[in-house]
Chain A
Amino acid sequence: MALKTEKEYLDTIRKMKPRVYIGGKWVDNLLDNPVTRSMVLANAAIYGLAEDPAHKEVMVASSHLTGEPINRNLNVARSIHDLDMRQEMALLTSQTVGTCNYRCVGCDALNSLASTTWEMDRDLGTNYNERFNKWLAYAQANDLAVSGAITDAKGDRKKRPSQQDEIDTFVHLVEKRDDGIVVRGIKVSQSGAIGSHETLVLPGGALREGEEKFALAFAVQNSAPGLSYICQYNAYSAEREMCDDEYELGNPLYGQRETSTMYFDNVFIPWERVFLCGETKYCGRMVTRFAKAHRMNCGGACKVGFADLIIGGTLLAAEYIGVDKVPHIQEKIIDMLRYSETSHACAIAAAMRGREEPKGSGVYLPDDLFGNAAKLNIAHGFWEIIKNAGDIGGGLVVTMPRIKDLEDPEVGPALKKAFGAVAPAEKRLKVAKFLQHWSAGLHGPGTWHGAGAPQTQRFMFTVLTDFEAKKKMAKKIMGLKD
């Protein structure tokens, strides 16, 4: 069965017991802890989307390995259409869960691996691509939830990995055995591994000769002994743990975005799951290809889905106090749309201008410049969007009491008077809480850094732009001689 249902995914996750730590305690069952449950339910909803005939075109692809229908999260893009549907999936999943599609990083990692392992086999005569395809065929056949881990802890940024005082700040090779390798080290800011079956681990950046032990790409089973997850913990985690009714929360079912620090303490990886081991020359391009895909998807289209939700909430907030027809309110809504739709357009352009990379591999990757434009635009635009949401939502977004306080016999009647307007107080508070979730939560910095901080995209602009050609054009039309 190539496509798992939401229920089938949850059935396997009920049995999965990765070593997960959150807020001072170890998690016995992912579905019993309110914070980890929100991550798992978000993943389940992504499985559910693939079951819905209305979303089949976006969520279901055909495996190039077997011809079977597969979840697009496990698809290697083989055409412009595949790229376009991939970015549409990023949009749809964000609109549906209002948090990460936790299979997204894995999807972009596997596209980078498909491309780079093919190139390595061609250049070096290795068999990484064959191995990778077998792993992928297995993942597709079982519709595994696959996450991705890229960012090393990195330590002192002035030093190379091997110069670090603490070598575990980079995932590295400890031992090569007949049957596999043993790895240790730390990956950070990892989205959703705890509720996935496997994680694809890629190098965190380009490496040089002499840094072979850090040149690793592999798939790891998420409950492999030696692997631990230390989850993020913040005010939203505490609020979710403390509240007695999730209806009170900004995103009741799916939460904020849940990440963890992954600690590999001598974890065994069988050779069948190793896709790069020591080939430093290919690490940079492996990461670059991942980034190319991820900036179109996570950086661009995904945040447009978030923007749609924020704009929807903001429209309701305006309507509920009777200002929805006021010109400056409408102007601010249009500004929010301008940022989000421009980013969506960039993501579509990145897909449409995508190309096979490398030639002959059959793997399609998005256009680099437009993907970077999508991400850079929304990184800045998102702050403007949440600023306007806060502006139109009003002070209530951060000064509101609990929704259930409306039912308190002593203070409830006063609160209903205070916050009732065109709509009753409960609706206003519900929308205010939703906007608080976005504008005063984790998504601002998350959107800034996800798929790489904007400085990276600025650097890519300088690399990808032909500045001399632009000067030449300007000179020509001015009639300016050299």
Chain B
Amino acid sequence: MEKTPISPLGEGDTEVIALVVNGQLWGLYEGLAGTFASFAYACLAKNTLPGYAAEDILAGADRAGRRLTLTIRGRRSREELAAVMDKALVNIVAFPGGKGEACCVIEAAAET
């Protein structure tokens, strides 16, 4: 049978998520549409980050539309915070990269 592309991923089928650490953009991540909703549910309803079920890591989470603001427990450098968030995003099957404008933002900061 002829192999004709019938449904490649188009605009809106994936989500580009901007990861902001300590107020500055760290990088972009891309996941299937719905990834941000999964991430937000983890933080708001389960009070944890994906992949961190064994740790009490989340001190606070707040969502305003497509922006999620997180407070991560412990004093951590910007690099350490970014590593925490990178692992959490990969655990919800979003990977570094992504083209175009971010449609949602996850902002992380350490406890002060």
Q: What residues make up the interface of A, taking CB atoms closer than 8 Å to B?
A: 12, 15-19, 26, 28, 62-67, 78-79, 130, 133-135, 137-138, 141-142, 144, 179-180, 197-198, 221, 223-226, 228, 266, 268-273, 362
Which bucket holds chain B's interface residue count? 20 to 34
CA distance A180 to B33 in the complex (A): 11
A64: B residues at CB distance < 8 A: 3-6
Knowing that A64-B5, A223-B51 touch, tell me 19 more A-B residue pairs with CB under 8 angstroms. Answer: A17-B91, A19-B54, A28-B54, A65-B7, A142-B95, A179-B37, A197-B93, A221-B50, A221-B91, A223-B50, A224-B50, A225-B41, A225-B42, A225-B50, A266-B45, A268-B38, A270-B34, A271-B34, A273-B34
Query: Nearest Cβ distance between residue A127 and chain B, in whole angstroms?
Result: 11
11 contacts between A and B (CB under 8 A): A19-B54, A64-B5, A65-B6, A65-B7, A66-B5, A79-B1, A137-B7, A223-B50, A224-B38, A225-B42, A268-B38
Query: Nearest Cβ distance between residue B56 and chain A, in whole angstroms?
Result: 13
A130: B residues at CB distance < 8 A: 7
CA distance A203 to B111 in the complex (A): 43
B34: A residues at CB distance < 8 A: 179-180, 270-273
Q: Is B79 an interface residue (CB 8 A)?
A: no
Chain B 22-41, CB-CB to A under 8 Å as 1, else 0, gives 00000000011111011001
Q: Is B9 an interface residue (CB 8 A)?
A: yes
CA distance A426 to B21 in the complex (A): 57
Query: Nearest Cβ distance between residue B24 and chain A, in whole angstroms?
Result: 23
Interface of B is mostly: loop
Whether the pair B3, A12 counts as a contact (CB closer than 8 A) is no
Whether the pair A15, B86 counts as a contact (CB closer than 8 A) is yes
A271: B residues at CB distance < 8 A: 34
CA distance A225 to B7 in the complex (A): 30
Closest to A28 in B: B54
Give the residue of A137, A226, A268 whose beta carbon is less than 8 angstroms from that of B9: A137
Whether the pair B37, A268 counts as a contact (CB closer than 8 A) is yes
A225: B residues at CB distance < 8 A: 41-42, 46, 48, 50, 53
Whether the pair B54, A16 counts as a contact (CB closer than 8 A) is no
CA distance A78 to B2 in the complex (A): 9
Q: Is B69 an interface residue (CB 8 A)?
A: no
Whether the pair B8, A224 counts as a contact (CB closer than 8 A) is no
Q: What residues make up the interface of B, taking CB atoms closer than 8 Å to A?
A: 1, 3-9, 13-14, 31-35, 37-38, 41-42, 45-46, 48, 50-54, 86-87, 90-93, 95
Whether the pair B37, A362 counts as a contact (CB closer than 8 A) is no
Whether the pair A268, B45 counts as a contact (CB closer than 8 A) is yes
B46: A residues at CB distance < 8 A: 225-226
Whether the pair A362, B1 counts as a contact (CB closer than 8 A) is yes
Query: Nearest Cβ distance between residue A218 and chain B, in whole angstroms?
Result: 11
Give the residue of B13, B38, B48 whose beta carbon is less than 8 angstroms from that of A221: B38
4 residue pairs, one from A and one from B, having the closest CB atoms: A270-B34, A272-B34, A223-B91, A225-B46
B92: A residues at CB distance < 8 A: 221, 223-224
Give the residue of B14, B53, B86, B95 whose beta carbon is less than 8 angstroms from that of A19: B53
A63: B residues at CB distance < 8 A: 3, 5
Closest to A137 in B: B9
B54: A residues at CB distance < 8 A: 17, 19, 26, 28
Whether the pair B32, A135 counts as a contact (CB closer than 8 A) is yes
Whether the pair A15, B87 counts as a contact (CB closer than 8 A) is yes
Closest to A26 in B: B54
Whether the pair B8, A137 counts as a contact (CB closer than 8 A) is yes
Q: With a 10 A CB-CB cut-off, give which of B4, B13, B14, B41 has the most chain A CB atoms.
A: B41
CA distance A385 to B5 in the complex (A): 45
B42: A residues at CB distance < 8 A: 224-225, 268
CA distance A362 to B4 in the complex (A): 11
Give the residue of B1, B32, B37 whose beta carbon is less than 8 angstroms from that of A138: B32
CA distance A271 to B33 in the complex (A): 9
B53: A residues at CB distance < 8 A: 17, 19, 223, 225, 228
B95: A residues at CB distance < 8 A: 12, 142
CA distance A79 to B32 in the complex (A): 28
Query: Nearest Cβ distance between residue A33 and chain B, in whole angstroms?
Result: 14
Query: Nearest Cβ distance between residue A405 and chain B, in whole angstroms?
Result: 39
Give the residue of A16, A67, A141, A179 whose beta carbon is less than 8 angstroms from that of B51: A16
Whether the pair A144, B8 counts as a contact (CB closer than 8 A) is no
Query: Nearest Cβ distance between residue A147 and chain B, in whole angstroms?
Result: 13
B32: A residues at CB distance < 8 A: 134-135, 138, 272-273
CA distance A228 to B53 in the complex (A): 9
B86: A residues at CB distance < 8 A: 15
Known contacts A15-B86, A17-B52; is-contact A67 B38 (Cβ 8 Å) = no
A79: B residues at CB distance < 8 A: 1
Closest to A134 in B: B13
Closest to A67 in B: B5
A266: B residues at CB distance < 8 A: 45
B9: A residues at CB distance < 8 A: 134, 137-138, 141
